[in-house]
Structure 1
């Protein structure tokens, strides 16, 4: 089987824990080929985001066209989008793809608490959710986007990530237009090194979909991958450090 071609549209994390860097790591370790359209450059580390420089919309589109026109795309992952104008332009371009699964991680706030999307950009998420095969908000993001009803409103699936919930068990719920599809429950992994969990999960799911997996199967494998990455976190930095790279995961998945 040819390698799955995964186009990642997201921002860059200079500290290597989240964003494009985490996306490429996940796609590669799961056997896919990662291509990128970088939407923003950030000065960022485990303590927070010190600066954000959005990439102009026409350059984001140019990166996308370079990948789509030559290499082709089996799945798309969208993360930090940079601006409302870029969100609208990306949505228009992706609408022309035929049958390509799209995983949208509606990034609003970094693990450190730093804002990564303004109100206009969040409002523009509506267009991207309308195209997505799966939207992967955490609980605060889900509330900001309108709650569980976004699955029915956009005729899509939503993975409501439970990391911000309380209790010893972490619960992730897959919602479809008609309500709950399935859920996963696991004990929480006690670590401060959670930077990049959302990026990694969404890219891992997109890789599975690009490889031909059904949605629940792709989510299940991606969750196991993230848990393995949390366990092997190297403990870098003075804040929310990056996860590790479970190098042998693909051989045992």
Structure 2
């Protein structure tokens, strides 16, 4: 009798937990599931967090973090890895070591440093460690503020595209530079994808949506891109599909409310 068993298309997210459910691991699992893959998770830290901000960050002990990574990587084959909050050099070193040991592919790294609320999510000395880790990623997805921290100068409309290229060449990786924080009167938002291997530049346009309900957009975008890579799409197509998914989720959450602050995007169109 023919064996009809088929493996899940699986994505691993390595990130922090958001107790409010809008960002971090929780947003990643929702995005991966909504985009068609199975989500596994490794938690780097827990946060006391809601729609209004981050109240506290509690680091997961390094030994337990290492065991989480060992448990899933030794058992499950992943088509892509999404990496989010890496708040210390110790965390970065443990994650780097385990990913090298298991020779994983399709690493999408969201260089999370500052939350949308303005709360800092990384220790000062960890920024340099993060920079050293970036070349291990196949794609990084910084917003404007994170990109400015990475290259040390301001970014505006005049140098948006060249900054994406500069980051990619400096850190030897492909870059999706997100334009959501750019001051612009245009009705469209532009993201720039720089493909490091080919040197190609792709502009991705989506309609600008007037809403404050954008909690978790960065986490959701990087995890959805990882999902589409896992499903076999090219980098350009995975990025385009991920951007389209998040833009639709923002639109679907525009008229929703949750808590007293900035509500999350609507991952499932609920």
With normalisation by structure 2, the TM-score equals 0.87
Equivalent residue runs for 1:13-162 within 5 Å: 13-98=18-103, 100-146=105-151, 147-148=163-164, 149-162=166-179
How many matched pairs?
248
Q: 2:222 aligns with which of 197, 202, 205?
A: 202
Distance in structure 1 (CA, Å) of the matches to 2:269 and 2:100 = 35
Answer with 131-140 or 222-231: which moved more.
222-231
CA contact (8 A) 2:23 2:215 kept: yes
Q: Which has the larger displacement, 98-107 or 14-23?
A: 98-107
| Contact in 2 for aligned 1:88/1:127 (Cα 8 Å) | no
1:2 matches 2:10: no
Q: In the alignment, what sits opposite 1:246? A: 268
Flag structure 1 segments of 5+ consecutive residues without an equivalent: 249-253
What does residue range 160-175 of structure 1 map to in structure 2 within 5 Å? Answer: 160-167=177-184, 168=186, 169-175=188-194
User: CA contact under 8 A between 1:101 and 1:206: conserved in structure 2?
Assistant: yes
- Compute the TM-score of the two structures, normalised by the length of structure 1: 0.93
Q: Write the deviation string for residues 200-224 of structure 1: whole angstroms up to 9, x where unpaired.
A: 0000000011111100110111111
> Who is 1:251 aligned against?
none
The aligned counterpart of 1:176 is 195
2:218 matches 1:213: no
What does residue 158 of structure 2 align with? none
**What is the SS of the residue equivalent to 2:204?**
strand
Contact 2:73–2:102 under 8 Å retained in 1:
no
Question: What is the DSSP-based 3-state SS (H/G/I as helix, E as strand, rest coil) of the residue aligned with 2:248?
Answer: helix
Alpha-carbon distance between aligned partners in 1 of 2:247 and 2:167, rounded to the nearest angstrom: 27
**Cα distance between partner residues in 2 of 1:33 and 1:72:** 11
Q: Per the alignment, do residues 47 and 99 of structure 1 end up closer, same or farther by CA in structure 2, a change over 3 Å counting?
A: closer
Q: Is the aligned partner of 1:187 residue 2:207? A: yes
